[in-house]
């Protein structure tokens, strides 16, 4: 007798032959996966499910924007290290090379019982498995005085789009010797080192064009990611330019006034010439509309990234509670591959590998001065557990720092190709 493994069986006869794994599907019908959000998590998941199932799964990607501008490397654009166009990507490769049905619409709600997604335009799309990777929504009112209207005066530039261009233009137009105020968000938030890389890139720009300007950070946190590395870098490259105020020093941010550009704290009222305010965050709205959030974020089962609230929905990236992983593009991309593997296994009977995850967050402090922090992870019963970790060391040689920066350029090319090609 010839033994045919589950994988070999699917491979020999195609996915529809593995009918036992898909009792609800009509003969010959392909199982349907709908992915909402075509960013680091969603684009990767859609691509891997389509590519690895070789057409055995019908994949639809619902993404509001026709062009995805990465938040990763947006700070390098701010500092003048990248052109804005170089961080924009389209969905051509997903549609044409991978056969994904790309729908540029806003997904409004989910009918969990009927397994369908309702679009803002009124149409519905049905699924066997739904993947949500909608990123974040901003809690504007977490900063008193801040609002969607205020973001044109004090850009957050924390979601993809024109905000980061506006921020760069405002920094370039600061008066000579002016003050830039940065308000980082409270934990947990997208990209833990991001606010501090942003400060570094703005200081780099100011040092070149407006060297007597000052940067004040009004932080709601007592400590931050790669703090020692950033502070040493600021001292080395931007001495006397950057002042970081922790909550014990400023006593709390009481209000911001976008008209007067004032920041009222217990310590003082700071007047800015340009500013960046990043409010607190929560999962993109479709996650709560789908009933998979508990509070601000969506809890998941680490082995598959399936929602704890609905087994037919997987939540990836920033929207999920994927601790110990940080909310990063690298994490979202890594989680997407775990979810894609699990979904394909469930729908076609293909082999499911043990979940392994990885993340590295690179930050650029100044020209050729890159630092990184990262870890490898495995799925634990309750959370994603760290296997091993690493971080750049203080006092590394300039060659090491340059290599670290160059690694990040390679990573950017790799991840965007992994998402969109």
Ligand X SMILES: Cc1cc2nc3c(=O)[nH]c(=O)nc-3n(C[C@H](O)[C@H](O)[C@H](O)COP(=O)(O)OP(=O)(O)OC[C@H]3O[C@@H](n4cnc5c(N)ncnc54)[C@H](O)[C@@H]3O)c2cc1C
Residues forming contacts to ligand X in the complex (CB under 6 A) are 36-42, 62-65, 68, 71-72, 74-75, 106-107, 133-135, 158, 190-191, 194, 198, 284, 286, 317-319, 327-330, 332, 361-362
Q: Cβ distance 61 to 91 under 8 Å?
A: yes
Considering the complex, what minimum distance in angstroms separates the CB of residue 413 from ligand X?
A: 13
Nearer Cβ to ligand X, position 262 or 418? 418
Q: By C-beta, is 36 or 342 nearer to ligand X?
A: 36
Task: Please report, for residues 86, 89, 221, 229, 365, the alpha-carbon distance to residue 196 in angstroms, rounded to integers and kept in the order given.
Answer: 22, 25, 12, 10, 9
Residue number, 17 or 309, with CB nearest to ligand X: 309
Distance CA 359, CA 382 (A): 19
CB of 210 to ligand X, least distance (A): 21
Q: How far is CA 303 from CA 96, 180, 198, 377, in A?
A: 31, 44, 34, 11
State the nearest-atom distance from the C-beta of 52 to ligand X, in Å. 19
Counted residue by residue, the chain has a size of 421
Specify which residues 255 forms β-bridges with: 264
Question: Is the Cβ of residue 241 or residue 332 nearer to ligand X in the bound state?
Answer: 332
Residues 6+ apart with CB under 8 A from 113: none
Nearest residue (CB) to ligand X, 299 versus 317: 317
- Least CB distance to ligand X at residue 16 (A): 29
Query: What DSSP character marks residue 297?
Result: B
Phi and psi of 277, rounded to 5°? Answer: -115, 120
Instruction: Identify which of residues 41 and 155 has a Cβ nearer to ligand X in the complex.
Output: 41
Closest separation in Å from C-beta 13 to ligand X = 34
The nearer residue to ligand X, 75 or 341, going by C-beta atoms, is 75
Q: Which pair of tokens denotes residue 389?
A: 């970790």
User: What's the closest the beta carbon of residue 130 comes to ligand X, in angstroms?
Assistant: 12
**For tokens 């690298």, what's the residue?**
330
Pair type for strands 214-218 and 242-245: parallel
| 270 burial via Cβ count (<10 Å: 0-12, 13-18, 19+) | buried
Give least dist CB 167 to ligand X, A.
10
Nearest to ligand X of 265, 403 (CB atom): 403
Shorter beta-carbon distance to ligand X: residue 328 or 416: 328
CA angle at 261 for the pair 283 and 217, rounded to the nearest 5° = 60
CB of 62 to ligand X, least distance (A): 5
Contact 43, 67 (CB under 8 A): no
Q: Residue 368 and residue 366: Cα distance in Å, rounded?
A: 6
In whole angstroms, give the CA distance from residue 242 to residue 214.
Answer: 6
Shorter beta-carbon distance to ligand X: residue 73 or 263: 73
Residue 91 · residue 66 · CB < 8 Å: yes
Neighbour-count burial of 329, counting CB atoms closer than 10 A to its CB (0-12 exposed, 13-18 middle, 19+ buried)? buried
Q: Which residue is nearest to ligand X (CB)?
A: 39
Q: What is the largest CA-CA distance in the chain?
A: 83
């Amino acid at each position: 007798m010839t033994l045919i493994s589950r994988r070999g069986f699917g491979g020999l006869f195609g996915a529809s032959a593995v009918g036992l794994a898909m009792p609800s599907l009509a003969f010959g019908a392909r199982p349907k996966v709908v992915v909402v959000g075509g960013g680091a998590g969603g684009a990767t998941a859609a691509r891997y499910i389509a590519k690895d199932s070789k057409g055995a799964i019908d994949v639809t990607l619902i993404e509001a924007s026709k062009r995805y501008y990465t938040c990763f490397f947006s700070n390098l654009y701010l500092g003048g290290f990248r052109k804005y166009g170089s961080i924009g990507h389209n969905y051509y490769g997903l549609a044409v090379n991978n056969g994904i049905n790309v729908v540029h619409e806003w997904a409004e709600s989910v009918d969990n019982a009927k397994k369908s997604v309702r679009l803002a335009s009124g149409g519905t799309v049905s699924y066997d498995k739904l993947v949500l990777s909608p990123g974040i929504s901003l809690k504007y009112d977490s900063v008193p005085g801040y609002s969607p209207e205020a973001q044109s005066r004090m850009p957050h530039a924390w979601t993809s789009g024109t905000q980061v261009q506006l921020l760069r233009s405002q920094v370039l137009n600061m008066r000579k010797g002016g003050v830039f105020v940065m308000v980082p968000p409270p934990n947990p938030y997208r990209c833990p080192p991001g606010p501090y890389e942003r400060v570094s890139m703005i200081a780099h720009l100011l040092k070149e064009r407006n060297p007597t300007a000052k940067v004040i950070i009004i932080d709601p946190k007592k400590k931050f990611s790669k703090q020692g590395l950033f502070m040493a870098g600021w001292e080395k490259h931007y001495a006397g330019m950057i002042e970081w105020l922790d909550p014990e020093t400023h006593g709390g941010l009481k209000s911001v006034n976008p008209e007067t550009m004032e920041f009222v704290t217990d310590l003082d009222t700071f007047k800015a010439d340009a500013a960046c305010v990043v409010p607190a965050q929560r999962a993109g709205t479709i996650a709560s509309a789908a009933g998979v959030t508990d509070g601000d974020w969506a809890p998941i089962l680490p082995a598959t990234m399936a929602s704890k609230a609905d087994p037919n929905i997987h939540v990836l990236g920033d929207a999920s509670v994927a601790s110990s992983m940080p909310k990063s593009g690298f994490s979202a991309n890594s989680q997407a591959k775990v979810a894609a593997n699990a979904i394909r296994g469930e729908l076609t009977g293909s082999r499911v590998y043990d979940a392994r995850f990885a993340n590295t967050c690179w930050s650029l402090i100044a020209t050729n001065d890159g630092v990184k922090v990262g870890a490898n992870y495995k799925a634990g019963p309750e959370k994603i557990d760290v296997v091993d970790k690493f971080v750049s060391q203080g006092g590394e040689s300039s060659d090491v720092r340059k290599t670290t920066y160059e690694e990040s350029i390679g990573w950017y090319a790799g991840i965007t190709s992994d998402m969109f090609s």
